[in-house]
Amino acid sequence: MTGRTLAELGLADAPRDHPLTYPGAWPADSGLLHGDRMFPLERLVYDDRVPVLAVGSNACPGQLRYKMDEFGIDSPVPMVRSRVSGLDVGVSAHVSILGYVSASPVKSPEALRELFVIWLDRRQLEVIDASEPHFRRAWLPAPEVRIELPDGSGLTGAFAYVNRHGVLLDGTGAPRRHPGDQRALIGELLAGSARLRELFGVTPEEFCARARRDPGLCVRGTLLFAEQKWVTESGFEPYADGQQAGRPGTGSSFLPPLR
């Protein structure tokens, strides 16, 4: 089995280092991330792992590699490009200390998106949990969220990370859709709020730089979103309540044993 480096594929950069590139570069197709390389997948389902739906930078191999390296995890991560309905990608109602405004799933019965399912072992899942302090992990079951794999088969559900602060609204009173263009998103948010500009400056570059320098400023920005009544629920809050450890009612027994 041969593989290509992330640099060769244009997937090496991580949004944590380049915040205006958030959510980072995603693979063109399914693959196996192992260290600094991507390999072809031999299968689509991994019964000894748990499926996690990536709606933001967890689908970026450069970001995933950084998170795993930080905790000394070198096991491979299968990444399966899938068709997902019943869920759209909204905008998290918090300012990240890494300098960007991240994505969060929103309930949307009519939505159809192509997203990655990453299959994680227990240690990898713990790493991702630790890297998402503003999110709660929730089990999203079919048919509320339908995940179709490349061979046409479907999953019974998957985990996703639901923002603790809610998601941002658009101008119509509906959840704002994350555009995938961080520069454009931050520009729109700054243009819509003089108070936000007072805190973070008038350009996306200033926003990122100030947020990365001052975690307290990120907290103030997060509170400002709520004060300006820009925030609504994602629709997935009931799935997240009390369900972080595993599927509803199963505690941690759904997770494979730590190896």
pLDDT higher than 80, residue 31: yes
Of 81, 246, 103, the closest CA to residue 162 belongs to 103
Instruction: Output phi, psi for 250, to 5 deg.
Output: -115, 0
pLDDT higher than 80, residue 183: yes
Mean pLDDT value across the chain:
92
Q: How far apart are CA 142 and CA 211, in angstroms?
A: 38
pLDDT-above-90 percentage for the chain:
90
Q: Spell 146-164 as b/e; 16+ CB within 10 A means b.
A: bbbbeeeeebebbbbbbbb
Instruction: Tell me which of 100-104, 124-128, 229-233, 237-241 is least confident.
Output: 237-241
pLDDT higher than 70, residue 244: no
Give the tens place of pLDDT for each residue, 1-14: 678 999 999 999 99
**Could you tell me which residue, 3 or 115, shows the higher pLDDT?**
115
- Average pLDDT (136-145) is 96
pLDDT higher than 50, residue 255: no
* pLDDT computed for residue 246 by the predictor: 42
- Average pLDDT (136-153) is 96
pLDDT higher than 80, residue 93: yes
Give the tens place of pLDDT for each residue, 44-83: 999 999 999 999 999 999 999 999 999 999 999 999 999 9
- Average pLDDT (183-190) is 98
- Average pLDDT (219-231) is 97
pLDDT higher than 50, residue 230: yes
Cα–Cα separations (whole angstroms), residue 121 to 181, 255, 257: 31, 8, 8
Q: How far apart are CA 59 and CA 81, in angstroms?
A: 10
Residue 140 tokens, joined: 């999203």
- Average pLDDT (190-211) is 98
Strands 103-120 and 50-54: antiparallel
45: number of Cβ within 10 Å: 14
Residues facing 105 on adjacent strands: 89
- Average pLDDT (155-160) is 97
242 pLDDT band, cuts 50/70/90, is low
